[in-house]
Amino acid sequence: MSLTEYFHGVQKRLPEEAERVISTLEDSGPMNKEDLSLTAKVKRAVLDHVVMQLYALGLVDVSTEGKSKICSLTSLGYDFLNLKDAV
């Protein structure tokens, strides 16, 4: 299985909110979960689950700044965006 085929399978299994989260991070850069929730139009409770799924796949990184959790795309996340539609 190629990386492109793998990403295509990942895309099918992720909830629809995941694509909005990834696209928002690509367009707006790293942001805290509150801003990400508002910008991506994903409810906060759902966002936590989506971010953890994306984190487990290595597509999103979560770091701590004070009391905030900052989400950002990883290099694999950018690869996912570039290759997910290639199949």
- Cα separation, 32 vs 47, in Å, equals 11
- 59-73: b (≥16 Cβ within 10 Å) or e: bbbeeeeeeeebbeb
Decide if pLDDT at 69 tops 80.
yes
Mind spelling out the 3-state secondary structure of 5-52? HHHHHHHHHCCHHHHHHHHHHHHHCCEEHHHHHHHHCCCHHHHHHHHH
Q: Domain spans of the chain?
A: 3-83
Token pair in block for residue 25: 């991070």
What's residue 86's pLDDT? 58
Decide if pLDDT at 87 tops 60.
no
**So what's the architecture of 3-83 in CATH?**
Orthogonal Bundle (1.10)
Q: Could you tell me the pTM of the whole model?
A: 0.87
pLDDT for 19-63, tens place per residue?
999 999 999 999 999 999 999 999 999 999 999 999 999 999 999
